[in-house]
Structure 1
Amino acid sequence: QQHGFARNLEWSVGDISDESTSITLKLEDSAETRKMWDHAFELAYTVSLSADGLETKFTVKNTGEEPFSFTGALHSYYSATDVSKAEVIGPFYKAQFLDKTLDPPAMVEDNNEEPLTVTSFIERVYPGIGVNKGMILSDSVNGKALQIRNEEGYEDTVIWNPYGDEAMGANSFICVESGNVMNAVKVGPGKTWVGKLCLSEIPTKLSERFTRVLNMVSV
């Protein structure tokens, strides 16, 4: 299956913290998962909400005796008043990306100096735009901007929107997904991989300044 099996299974509730307003969901290997992926593992997904924003932490632990590899991504759907008026500000200029709208998919260079916008069906994988590569999602209609920070683990960024598909509500969201898509993550026996994503709302003026800084760096 295209998006893996973990999202289709029932996770258990692990820790709940009132102090930091957080919850942890867990999933372990079972006879059912072994039919799809024959490895021993423990997954934990923690979501924490604070005055500073939202933090998600995803861990993959190898509980078996053999190393394994995996790929994956967070399917982050961000609300947009009008997707054609939303902007994703990040280090995309001159970056290589896998354009999955092409047949066959191919690597393409992004030559657009302006922030990324959606005006047609889009499905791109930007390798290497992950950890420590900040991005901002700006909604010019409601004047809000969201800072997206991959602080650990995630190496790639996926941009997706089924533009024009009214049945999917394409005009009301944009996907900016944190993941490891191009290269599989290897986890040795007893080892744990950690992915951390942080979100925080910022003033729109700050996002405009961020755009100017990126343009200066690109030049």
Structure 2
Amino acid sequence: MSSEKVSSSAATSTTTFTPSSGAFSPHVELAKGVNGLDKLVLREFRGSSAEVYLYGGHVTSWKNDHGEELLFVSSKAIYKPPKAIRGGIPICFPQFGSLGPLEQHGFARNRFWAVDTDPPPFPTPTYRAFVDLILKPSEEDIKIWPHSYEFRLRVALGPGGDLMLTSRIRNTNTDGKPFTFTFAYHTYFSVSDISEVRVEGLETLDYFDNLKNRERFTEQGDAITFESEVDKIYLSTPTKIAILDHEKKRTFVIRKDGLPDAVVWNPWDKKAKAISDFGDDEYKHMLCVEAAAIEKPITLKPGEEWKGRQELSAVPSSYCSGQLDPQKVLQSS
């Protein structure tokens, strides 16, 4: 890893890396984030960018080529271990939620990841801004989850500003034992006003309602709209889901592979006030739609690897009699 440069600001220093065994691309910089935590800044030549903290392997920013922030991070987020960062894209592994022996959403989101200097071969990328990270268990981790694994994460920006996260999890146990996990990309999208947002692609599907003891229901609406707290796990979902923000005339499209479920969450007003690292009114400007594998946990035998991928894009929406045609949005994106 070669050259260093110091910015004109005495308070901020950045290190520019040349690629080392595929660990960094030339479009990635290492910088200091909040509270001195290391972060990686990805930049595409057209102007889009993303930021990834080594703490949690956590994407905290995704901006389009106009510099508009597309992810929500709370103004009260605590960038201090062991607290996970509130917003962006926390990674839930090896447990989603609190149904299991581990802490809420597992421990990957509050561990320090390392740059992966020897990533596995990927298909030849069409993008240039990417970084590979890796997480392995510490001795303390093995005490609470007694398994050996390698979790490799690639974060990439496409030429059009799309954000791609690819996770590869391998069982490296030497005792012959399989392990089982659940997983989610806990993505917080930035929206203009939650009351002006609808989610397309999940209609008619079954879901578990976490507000009703995980009882199973079938979605009845033509689209999901928001008037109160929502915490649902949709099952056997399509590979493409759209989030339509009418006020901003913007549609987020989530494409996913290896992640059959989708979580939809907004805490609404009462829950927001009860969350210490979340602003009282911030629920109005965020929505979590999470590509996940929850209903059917993933089991890996020693040597086996699982891969889960999501790609996020933000495209302009056009009106038609005050309504957006969800099928056109999903088919054309």
- Identify the TM-score tier after normalising by the shorter chain: 0.7 to 0.9
Whole-Å Cα distance in 2 between the matches of residues 133 and 191 of structure 1?
23
Structure 2 unaligned spans of 5+: 1-102, 120-124, 274-278
Q: Corresponding residue for 2:283?
A: 170
What letter matches 1:62 in structure 2?
N
Q: Deviations over 1:82-106 (max 9, x none)?
A: 111111111x22211101111x220
Paired residues of 2:242 and 2:329 also in contact (CA < 8 A):
no
Which secondary structure state, in structure 2, belongs to the residue aligned with residue 170 of structure 1?
Answer: helix
Whole-Å Cα distance in 2 between the matches of residues 48 and 194 of structure 1?
16
What letter matches 1:159 in structure 2?
V
Whole-Å Cα distance in 2 between the matches of residues 93 and 195 of structure 1?
23
What letter matches 1:161 in structure 2?
N
Which secondary structure state, in structure 1, belongs to the residue aligned with residue 141 of structure 2?
Answer: helix
1:77 counterpart = 2:77? no
1:201 counterpart = 2:309? no
Give the deviation of 1:213 after TM superposition.
8.6
Whole-Å Cα distance in 2 between the matches of residues 8 and 81 of structure 1?
29
Whole-Å Cα distance in 1 between the matches of residues 151 and 303 of structure 2?
13
What letter matches 2:219 in structure 1?
D
How many residues are treated as equivalent by the alignment? 207
The percentage of aligned residue pairs carrying the same residue is 29
Whole-Å Cα distance in 1 between the matches of residues 185 and 135 of structure 2?
16
Q: From 125, 145, 148, give the equivalent of 2:254.
A: 148
Give the deviation of 1:30 after TM superposition.
2.1
Q: From 102, 121, 126, give the equivalent of 2:229.
A: 121
Paired residues of 2:264 and 2:287 also in contact (CA < 8 A):
yes
Give the deviation of 1:36 after TM superposition.
1.3
Q: Corresponding residue for 1:4?
A: 106
Aligned-residue CA RMSD in angstroms?
A: 2.2
Q: Within 5 Å, which residues of 2 pair with 1:10-159?
A: 10-15=112-117, 20-52=128-160, 53-64=162-173, 65-90=176-201, 92-102=202-212, 104-113=213-222, 115-129=223-237, 132-150=238-256, 152-159=257-264
Paired residues of 1:5 and 1:36 also in contact (CA < 8 A):
no
Paired residues of 1:158 and 1:175 also in contact (CA < 8 A):
yes
Stretch deviating more after TM superposition (160-169 or 49-58): 160-169
Q: Which has the higher contact order (CA 8 A, sep 6+)?
A: 1
Whole-Å Cα distance in 1 between the matches of residues 104 and 193 of structure 2?
28
Structure 1 unaligned spans of 5+: 215-219
Stretch deviating more after TM superposition (197-206 or 120-129): 197-206
In proportion to residue count, which structure has more helix?
1
Which structure is larger by alpha-carbon Rg, 1 or 2? 2
